[in-house]
Amino acid sequence: MHEMSIAMAVVCQVEEAAREHEAVGVEAVTLRVGELAGVVPEALRFSFGLACEGTVLDGAELVTEDVPGLARCASCAREWATGMPPRLCCEQCGDSRTELLSGRELRIAGVRWVHDPRHALALEEL
């Protein structure tokens, strides 16, 4: 399951950033996930919870923002939602030379930090 390796990479990056921001905890991490990225959101959420255990992210919420696949025809410049499975040939002119504009994203879009140790204690009690 590659979702676990993704979750572990996210945790490592956020832990490093937490040190730079002098954060004592993390409330939430927001990820932008493209529909063509090959990620199963439920599996990622489960893996994220496991990867966070014993780290500064322990108990953090994972928020995912879905990014639809969008393609553009190289010949006629028409744009369309690719859907799943992706339709990559232009329905207007039939050309298969397309540019994928979005849908493969997998990036950290935001982190809600905890800077107050008293707040971190309250989170641990939940």
Question: How many whole angstroms separate alpha carbon 78 and alpha carbon 125?
Answer: 53
Cβ(56)–Cβ(17) under 8 Å? no
d(CA 107, CA 32): 5
> Which residue is listed with tokens 């204690």?
121
CB proximity list for 26: less than 8 A, separation 6 or greater: 14, 18, 56, 57, 60, 111, 112, 113, 114
CA–CA dist 105, 125 (Å, integer): 35
Contacts of 126 by beta carbon, 8 Å cutoff, 6+ apart = 59
Q: What is the pLDDT of residue 120?
A: 45
Q: What is the DSSP string of 74-112?
A: TTT--EEE-TTTT--S-TTT----EEEEES--EEEEEEE
pLDDT score, position 123 = 39
Average pLDDT of adjacent 10-residue blocks, the chain of 126 residues: 93 95 94 96 96 97 97 97 94 95 96 74 37
